[in-house]
Structure 1
Amino acid sequence: MHAVRRPWRNWLATGTVATAIALLPGTAAADWPPTDSQGGQTTGTRQGQALESKVSFSGSTNGSGGNKGKGFVAANNWTPPACWYEPRSPAEFQAAVEAFYNDTVNYPGQHSYAKTAVGQYRDIYKNGKYKNYNLDKAGQGAFWVAAYDPARRNDPAASACSDLPEWVPNGTPPPFRQAITPQILAEAAYSRISIPDSEVSLAPAANTKVNLPTWAWLDKGVFKPVSVTATLDAGGTTLSATVTATPQSMRLKPGTQDATLHPGSGECTINDGSIGAPFAAGSESQTPPCGVTYLRSSGSGTYPLQATVTWAVSWTSTNNAAPTQLPPGTFEGEPQNVTVQEIQAVTR
């Protein structure tokens, strides 16, 4: 058997169709997708059409998801779900399955066993367990299908939802552990949070002296809460959840061990919407509420001072679901190069 290359797996990311193929006599999931005589993959032209989620996102989004956009990272290595189950109306489900079938059967060079397997899968919903995709029951229920977050289509976790689509009458709970809920929508929205670029203000800026306190602050007029809304509108179901990230504290990394942080914990907390306090004339000898005092010259180089802001994350939903707490996230800003010089004394 030819080796199977998997980049194509985004079409079958949740494993729904792969499971159907595996259930057929004499066919293993490892045999899918089929390969041509040279070992190359044969594919259809509608990759992801049937299984890509219908959840949409709006607000301060990074456009990519997976907690990778703009450097916003969830605490404790938490990750949102990569797949779940969503409703599709009979017409939506029919269109998806028929497109899958037509692409497989009509694609040049496709293996006969693949065509047979996909045909048998199609028959479950057209002429087998269900009749004509339950089109005569439109408005009475929906097919619940496995769907994957398009931002994580190549993530192995996207194959966790492998149950075949099932018809669920209105008012009946879907028989899937990961049937989409406001909580799942909130978690998916979390992965889209984009923190705006905002450089920490320093005084003195970029150039300071040994043992001279450097003040650091984030102005509340610049650093504000951000929100992302995830909405599902499919199969007669409309749900949405809005996630809001609010800055809570800032931790400074001075770029050298030869420094004293203010406060000593290094954690500057938020106060009235801002973190730290701007430097004011005449405060040179005072200890800043947030800042650093360098104890050694940077010589001919600089110290990379970096600030990491922790954001608290909360959410609400359209059906007033009781919110489950989401983990805080952190945003690590770009390092700022600080030159530290010795104070030159003049002697006579």
Structure 2
Amino acid sequence: MNVSRKILLHTSTVASLIVGTLILTEPAHAVEPTSNGRGASTEQVGGGKKAGIYAAARIQYSGSVAKGGGTGNVTSSDVSWTPPPCWYAPYLSAKDFKKKMSKDIESTKNSPGMTGTAGAAIGEMERHYEDGYGWTDTPGYKDYNIENDGKGMFWAGVENPNEPDYLKRTSCTDLPFWVENGEAPPPQYEEAISPEILAALAYQHMELPDTKVTLAPEANTKVNLPTWAWLDKAVFDEVQATAALNVPGFNIQATTTARPVSLKLEPGTKDAETYPASGECVINADKSIGEPYAKGKADRTPPCGLKYFRSSGDGTYKLQATITWEIAWTGTGGAGGDLPDGTFGNEQAVTVQEIQAVNR
């Protein structure tokens, strides 16, 4: 943080009480299934109705996305990586911003205890937007920049509602700032919405298909009998999710693509072994995983599968089948890159009987 923005810090604390941060809300309309049947098109809107003013920021998700996004959809294999906790996005036009700020500042000034440092901060912020008072890289505005109404928008902080850490979620505390239509936000606002941020949000909202592997024997397997496991290519394909922000003079989007690369089998007990020994079954050339069991393969070792050494008794073992997905993104202006691999899986109940048998 540079010097001028440090000066703004105490003013921003008061500003957060006056302006508030935009919070992504639940979609205002019903979610409709997409053509691939694996997800839903939905949108989440920044801000909302307050005093007759609507925030303009709107992120729309499409493709294979889960309503609301967040936990449970895809988990990053890189524990240090998380989607952005907050960002800056278009907020209000000059006229709407003036209307809202003028009302909120006046209300706050008349609140009990608004003296001393707090009162000075309010006055400083009022001068910033009304009288052109600014800092080194933070210019002030005359009459809320009304003369440029329609030529740009004021941007403000947006919280990611799926970020559990409140301090991270509310860390975009800089005062709302003006961005001309078609122009990029000033470089000091590193958290300004961008194709890369949209790609990370699409990642967070992505809904992947359930990982239910086909087993042979299908219902009950036997102790010391190799159990074959596989996934057909028809149910094991890449998944895409897109996030887009479209407001006057500023339109960007990013598409995140998840491509399956391997299947990890965990038997649910130490009394078992996997094939291969690592339990990691790689994808085949035809985009399938493993090999279907067929008559005559009983004496062969399955390329993907497992063997149990002990009966499950009156219960079952919880076989965990997890797919690793390679994830990349492309966005507006030719931007793109890789994101951390994602994992997604579920449990399957496996009954193991204490009967020696051979699959013929």
SS at match of 2:90: strand
Partner of 1:282: 296
**How far apart are residue 32 of structure 1 and its match?**
12
Give a deviation string over 1:141-199, Cα, whole Å, max 9, x none. 44332222344486321222221122244546513122222111111111111112242
Partner of 1:74: 76
Give a deviation string over 1:85-127, Cα, whole Å, max 9, x none. 2234634xx42563465468679x9647399776874563345
Partner of 2:228: 215
- In structure 2, relative to structure 1, the CA distance for the partners of 1:210 and 1:255 (3 Å cut) is same
The answer to whether structure 1 residue 156 and structure 2 residue 160 are counterparts is no
Q: Is the 8 A contact 1:52 1:149 kept in 2?
A: no
The answer to whether structure 1 residue 338 and structure 2 residue 340 are counterparts is no
Structure 1 counterpart of 2:218, from 199, 202, 205 = 205
Q: Is the 8 A contact 1:229 1:240 kept in 2?
A: yes
The answer to whether structure 1 residue 229 and structure 2 residue 254 are counterparts is no
Distance 1:122 1:224 in 2: 55
Q: Is the 8 A contact 2:77 2:340 kept in 1?
A: yes
The answer to whether structure 1 residue 251 and structure 2 residue 258 are counterparts is no
Structure 1 counterpart of 2:148, from 114, 137, 141 = 137
Partner of 2:308: 294
Partner of 1:57: 61
Partner of 2:36: none
Structure 2: which amino acid aligns with 1:84?
Answer: W
TM-score, normalised on structure 1? 0.76
Q: Is the 8 A contact 2:330 2:337 kept in 1?
A: no
Q: Is the 8 A contact 1:82 1:149 kept in 2?
A: yes
**What are structure 1's unaligned runs of at least 5 residues?**
1-16, 34-44
SS at match of 1:319: helix
Question: Percent identity of the aligned residues?
Answer: 44
Q: Is the 8 A contact 1:139 1:236 kept in 2?
A: no
Q: Is the 8 A contact 1:101 1:119 kept in 2?
A: no
- In structure 2, relative to structure 1, the CA distance for the partners of 1:82 and 1:344 (3 Å cut) is closer
Distance 2:282 2:175 in 1: 49
Distance 1:297 1:233 in 2: 58
Deviates more, 1:111-120 or 1:260-269: 111-120
Q: Is the 8 A contact 1:52 1:147 kept in 2?
A: no
Give a deviation string over 1:262-301, Cα, whole Å, max 9, x none. 0111100111211112111222221111110111222222
Partner of 2:324: 310
**What are structure 2's unaligned runs of at least 5 residues?**
1-7, 21-48, 133-139
- In structure 2, relative to structure 1, the CA distance for the partners of 1:69 and 1:295 (3 Å cut) is closer
- In structure 2, relative to structure 1, the CA distance for the partners of 1:172 and 1:264 (3 Å cut) is closer
Q: Is the 8 A contact 2:281 2:304 kept in 1?
A: yes
SS at match of 1:328: strand
Cα RMSD of the aligned pairs, angstroms, is: 3.6
- In structure 2, relative to structure 1, the CA distance for the partners of 1:98 and 1:206 (3 Å cut) is farther
- In structure 2, relative to structure 1, the CA distance for the partners of 1:172 and 1:344 (3 Å cut) is closer
Q: Is the 8 A contact 1:63 1:69 kept in 2?
A: no
Partner of 1:6: none
